Structure 1
Amino acid sequence: MGLDALSQKPHDRLADWLADDMVAVNLLIRDRMASEHAPRIPEVTAHLVEAGGKRLRPMLTLAAARLCGYGGPFHVHLAATVEFIHTATLLHDDVVDESERRRGRPTANLLWDNKSSVLVGDYLFARSFQLMVETGRIEVLGILANASATIAEGEVLQLTAAQDLATTEAVYLQVVRGKTAALFAAACEVGGVIADAPVGHIDALRDFGDALGIAFQIVDDLLDYGGSDASIGKNTGDDFRERKLTLPVIKAVALADAEERAFWERVIEQGDQREGDLARAQAIMARHGTMAAARDEALAWAARARAAITLLPDHPLRAMLDDLAGYVVARIS
Structure 2
Amino acid sequence: MTRAAPKTATIREIARRAEVSIASVSRALNGKPGISEALREHILAISREIHYRPSAAARQLISGKAAVVGISLGRQDIDLRPYYILLYQHLTLALHRQGTVPIFFAHDQTGILPERAGAAILLGEFPDDTRPALLRERQVPFVRVGEAGEGFSVAPDDRHGLYLATRHLIASGRRRIVFMGDDLEQPLGQRRLEGYRQALSEAGLTPRTISVPHCHDAALTGYRHLNRRLASLTAGTMPDFDALVCETDELALGCLASLEDHDIDVPGQVAVTGFDDLPTLAARLTTVRQDIAAIANESVRLLGDAVAGKPPCHVSLPVKLIVRQTG
Q: Where is the helix percentage greater, Structure 1 or Structure 2?
A: 1
Larger radius of gyration: 2
* Higher RCO, Cα 8 Å, sep 6+: 1
Q: Where is the strand percentage greater, Structure 1 or Structure 2?
A: 2
Q: Give TM-score, length-normalised by structure 2.
A: 0.28
